[in-house]
Amino acid sequence: MKKWIISIALLLVVGCGIFWATADQDMRRLVLNMPTDTNVLFWSTEQRDAGFRALDRVPLLSKSRVIAAGGNVYPLPAGAPLDIGLDVDAYMASQRAAALIIVQDGKVRLEQYGLDFGPEGRWTSFSVAKSFTSTLVGAAIKDGYIKSVDDMVSDYIPDLKGSAYDNVTIKQLLTMTSGVAWNEDYGDPQSDVAQFASHKPEPGVDVTVSYMRQLKSEAEPGTKWVYKTGETNLIGVLASSAANKPLAEYLSEKVWQPFGMQQDATWLLGSTGHEVSGCCVQAATRDFARFGLFIMGGGKAGGEQVLPDGWIAEATTKQADIGRPGHGYGYQWWTLDDGAYIAQGIFGQGIFIDPKRQLVIASNGNWPQATDRQGGDQGQERLAFYRQVQRAIDNETQR
C-alpha cells in the first residue's frame, strides 16, 4: 500500500513538473494566483492581472466557445506616430493598462502594451461584449430571424411569459428601459449583478432567464433607464434562440471571419450553455480595434451588408437619458453628444469610436476597482484621454 502511495505521489510530482515546464507565462501566472472566489468582482488585483488574460483556458473557472477567425486578415498598417501631447507611459501606468491601440484613417497611430501583455494575447472584454451582442440583434433582423425591435421579448423567450418582461419590447431591452428593478452595484456581494451568475436555475430553463423572470417591475416599460447586465444576457438568449445557433458561431459567421479578424476569440459560457452575452469575449486588442472599424465602416464584412440600413445610426445615438449631460445610451452603446460612442467594460476595457475623425481607440486593462463608483478616477481619466486624442487629431488637420 505504501508503495502505491509513493508511486502516485511521484506521478503527481512528475505531472506537475511537466505542466510547469510546458506552461506559458500566462498559465504560470494564473496558477500562482488562482482565484478562490468564483466571482471575478471580488478577486484581488493580482488575481485579475492573471485571470483576465486566461479566463478561457481554465474550464474550472468557466467553459467557453470559440469565435473562429478566417484566413484573410483585415490589414492595420502603421501610420505616422500621433503626438497626443501627454505622457502616454504615465497614462498607461495610471490606468494599469494592458493594451492601448489608436487607429485613425485606417492606420495604427499608436500601439503600446503593459502588464506583461502583448499583441498575441487575448484579454477579456467584460461589458464591451454588450455592444457585440446588440450588433448580433441587428444581424438577426437583417437575416429575418427577428422581425423588429418593437416585438415583445417573450415572443422569442417563452419562459419569460407571465413575468415582468412579458410586456417589454426588444428595443426596451436594448436600451435598458424595461422598468424592471435591478441592482448593478459591483461592490455589493448581495447585488443582482453579483448574484445572478451563481443562480440555480429551474430544470430546463436558461440560468439568466430563470433569474430574471423572478424580478419585479418598478416603472412602466420605456420610462426609466437602469443599467442591467442581466438584460444583455437576455438579449443574447433571444438572439441565439432566434438565429438557432450559438452567439459565438453567429459572431464568427457574420463578423469575425468575413471582416478579417486576425485571431480566434472565445466567449465564456453560463452554467446552462448560453454565452454570457453581457460580458466575456476574449480577443486580441487589435481585433477589438477591428470591430470598431467594422462598426464605423457601416457594418459591412466581406463585401456584404451585415446590419439593416440605419441600424448603426440608431444603435449609436442617444435612445435613453442616463442623467449625465452630454452622455446617453443607445442599443448597448454609450453615446456622446458630439457623435462619438463607446463600448466599455468594468476594470478598464473599451472601444471608443469617433466617425468624424475616423478614429478608433481600443484599450484593455485592470483598474484597481470596477468603476469610479467604487473609488478612483480612472474612468474620468480615460474620457479625458479620448478628448485629448481628438484634440491632437484636430491640431494636425489645422496645420
Radius of gyration for the alpha carbons in the chain, expressed in angstroms and rounded: 21
Query: Can you list the alpha helix ranges (DSSP code H) found in the chain?
Result: 2-22, 25-32, 45-51, 88-95, 128-142, 170-174, 192-195, 207-212, 229-243, 247-251, 257-259, 285-296, 311-315, 378-397
Closest CA relative to residue 235, chosen from 283, 291, 193, 178: 178
CB 228, CB 195: distance < 8 Å: no
Q: Is the whole model's pTM more than 0.75, yes or no? A: yes
Q: pLDDT (tens digit, 9 = 90+) per residue, 7-21?
A: 444 443 444 344 344
Q: Strand 349-354's sheet: what is its strand order?
A: 107-113, 97-104, 359-365, 349-354, 341-345, 334-336, 327-329
CA distances from 259 to 138, 200, 304, 372 (A): 16, 38, 10, 34
Query: Can you list the alpha helix ranges (DSSP code H) found in 158-228?
Result: 170-174, 192-195, 207-212
Q: How far apart are CA 151 and CA 170, in angstroms?
A: 6
Give the CA angle between residues 310, 313, 315 to the nearest 5°: 100
Q: How far apart are CA 169 and CA 175, in angstroms?
A: 10
Q: pLDDT (tens digit, 9 = 90+) per residue, 41-51?
A: 889 999 999 99
pLDDT tens over the chain, length 399 residues? 555 545 444 443 444 344 344 456 666 756 666 666 678 888 999 999 999 999 898 776 779 999 999 989 999 999 999 999 999 999 999 999 999 999 999 999 999 999 999 999 999 999 999 999 999 999 999 999 999 999 999 999 999 999 999 999 999 999 999 999 999 999 999 999 999 888 999 999 999 999 999 999 999 999 999 999 999 999 999 999 999 999 999 999 999 999 999 999 999 999 999 999 999 999 999 999 999 999 999 999 999 999 999 999 999 999 999 999 999 999 999 999 999 999 999 999 999 999 999 999 999 999 999 999 999 999 999 999 999 999 999 999 887
